[in-house]
């Protein structure tokens, strides 16, 4: 049996997504910028996807811009607004638990002369709204925060944050990295005071290398990729029609059964957590209630290194991640667990399990059984 519990790293495509991707690669493959019929046909896919996505957010179609994924959306939101608004101020607020797709452009902007305040978190991963309010100044041009943390699944109070930001400084933009939240929560940017929202296709059963940035029409932002003037000159490059069509399809499909999917994942999570809690010296990071996303569980297996457990599980066709998928490229410890003050020993024995709507109880039972078998053995070896 196989258990794929690494859905926060990536998901498999919906069958219907695959079909539309193949169709736009093999049959309706025209360049949407072309003036002939094949181009016009192809453009219809972009229009359809835009409408499908705008509907999920109750946004205007003209506020959706396609990108190459979550990383590009985040980089564009931060760098594009910082450069466009630097005369108004050079102060940016973010958190200590952001994904590198936000924390790295924030550091880059710091090197370029911007000032960055990084809000800390408590031992559960929660930010303080008072601290946010205190940090907002006259020259704060942007607050960038994630909706759901990719490492431990904590949910940030986005609606409350939006309210506080706009009350303290109506000119401050609010960017939300919703890459782990879109398809799990109903997100209404206009109601929640969100000016920009980043989404990635491959986390919602869409194709890899696809994503979008919602940009409220009032936001002053400059393009990040310059060229032939596609997407109203805001994001040049020949439109990725297969990717965009697949992303639109995935967005529509995931939102068509959102409540059902979330209930399923929440039940699985409650079950998995209660079983893990029965195991000796296994610690769940953050919280597991409503403040946490339905699909992410981060647990430390004291006395066993993450990669040892990961590879032992892999031998039995169980796929998990060591803290966060990005850790394979970076030697440094996890930013979120560090900010939460998790001791090094537990940090180094942390594994992330992440679910999707297709995850089954059988996969969890198999995983729990294998962990139960291998854990005492791995701990015995670790002591020698």
Q: Closer CB to ligand PLP, residue 303 or residue 333?
A: 333
Q: Does 177 participate in binding ligand PLP (rule CB under 6 A)? A: yes
- Rule CB under 6 A: choose which of 30, 70, 207, 294 binds ligand PLP: 70
**Applying CB under 6 A, which of residues 180, 312, 321, 359 lies at the interface with ligand PLP?**
180
Instruction: Decide whether 211 or 248 has the Cβ nearer to ligand PLP.
Output: 211
**Would you count residue 99 as binding ligand PLP (CB under 6 A)?**
yes
Is 89 one of the binding residues for ligand PLP (CB under 6 A)?
Answer: no
Name which of 23 and 126 has its Cβ closer to ligand PLP.
126
Q: Is 13 a catalytic residue?
A: no
**Does the protein bind ligand PLP through residue 187 (CB under 6 A)?**
no
Q: Is 335 a residue that touches ligand PLP (CB under 6 A)?
A: no
Q: Does 71 bind ligand PLP (CB under 6 A)?
A: yes
Q: Tell me the β-bridge partners of 146.
A: 177
Residues 189-208 that bind ligand PLP (CB under 6 A): 200
Please give the size of the binding site for ligand PLP, defined by CB under 6 A. Answer: 14
208-227 binders of ligand PLP (CB under 6 A):
211
Q: What are the CA-CA distances from residue 200 to residues 66, 182, 209 (Å)?
A: 10, 8, 8
251 scored as a contact of ligand PLP (CB under 6 A): no
150 near ligand PLP, rule: CB under 6 A: yes
CA–CA separation, 160 and 163 (whole Å): 5
Give the H or E element holding residue 121.
Answer: none
Residue 69 interacts with ligand PLP (CB under 6 A)? yes
Tokens of 215: 């940009």
**How far apart are alpha carbons 72 and 69 in whole angstroms?**
6
What SS3 state is found at 146? strand
Are the CB atoms for 95 and 151 separated by under 8 Å?
no
* Cα–Cα distance, 190 to 87 (Å, whole number): 26
Residue 52 three-state SS:
helix
Q: Where are the beta strands (DSSP E) in the chain?
A: 3-4, 64-67, 91-95, 115-119, 140-146, 173-177, 196-200, 211-215, 282-284, 296-301, 318-319, 350-354
Smaller CB distance to ligand PLP: residue 154 or 347? 154
Are the beta carbons of 49 and 243 closer than 8 angstroms?
A: no
Q: Which residue is nearest to ligand PLP (CB)?
A: 70
Positions annotated as catalytic residues are 326
User: Which spans of this chain sit near ligand PLP (rule: CB under 6 A)?
Assistant: 69-71, 74, 99, 101, 146, 150, 177, 179-180, 200, 211, 325
């Amino acid at each position: 049996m196989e258990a794929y519990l690494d859905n926060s790293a990536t998901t498999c495509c919906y069958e219907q997504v695959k079909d539309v991707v193949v169709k736009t690669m093999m049959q309706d493959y025209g360049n949407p910028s072309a003036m002939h019929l094949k181009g016009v046909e192809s453009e219809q896919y972009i229009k359809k996807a835009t409408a499908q996505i705008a509907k999920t957010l109750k946004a205007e179609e003209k506020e959706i811009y396609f990108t190459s994924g979550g990383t590009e959306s985040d980089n564009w939101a931060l760098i594009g607004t910082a450069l466009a608004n630097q005369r108004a101020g050079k102060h940016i607020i973010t958190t200590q638990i952001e994904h590198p797709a936000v924390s790295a452009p924030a550091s880059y902007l710091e090197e370029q002369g911007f000032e960055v305040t990084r809000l800390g978190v408590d031992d559960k991963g929660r930010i303080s709204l008072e601290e946010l309010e205190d940090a907002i100044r006259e020259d704060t041009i942007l607050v960038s925060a994630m909706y759901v943390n990719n490492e431990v699944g904590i949910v940030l109070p986005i609606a409350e944050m939006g309210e506080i930001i706009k009350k303290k400084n109506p000119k401050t933009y609010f960017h939300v990295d919703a890459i782990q939240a879109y398809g799990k929560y109903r997100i209404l940017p206009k109601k929640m005071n969100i000016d920009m929202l980043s989404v990635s296709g491959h986390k919602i059963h869409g194709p890899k290398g696809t994503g979008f940035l919602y940009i409220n029409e009032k936001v002053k932002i400059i393009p990040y990729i310059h060229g032939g003037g596609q997407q109203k000159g805001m994001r040049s490059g020949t439109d990725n029609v297969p990717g965009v069509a697949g992303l639109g399809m995935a967005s529509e499909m995931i939102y068509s059964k959102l409540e059902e999917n979330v209930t399923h994942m929440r039940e699985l999570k409650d079950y998995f957590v209660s079983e893990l809690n029965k195991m000796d010296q296994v610690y769940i990071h953050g919280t597991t209630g409503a403040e946490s996303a339905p699909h992410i569980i981060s647990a430390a297996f004291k006395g066993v290194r993450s990669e040892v457990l990961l590879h032992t599980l892999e031998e039995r066709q169980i796929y998990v991640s060591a803290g966060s998928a990005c850790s394979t490229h970076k030697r440094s410890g996890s930013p979120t667990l560090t900010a939460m003050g998790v001791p090094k020993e537990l940090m180094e024995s942390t594994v992330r399990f992440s679910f999707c709507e297709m995850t089954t109880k059988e996969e969890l039972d198999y995983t729990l059984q294998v962990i139960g078998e291998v854990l005492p053995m791995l701990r015995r070896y670790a002591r020698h």
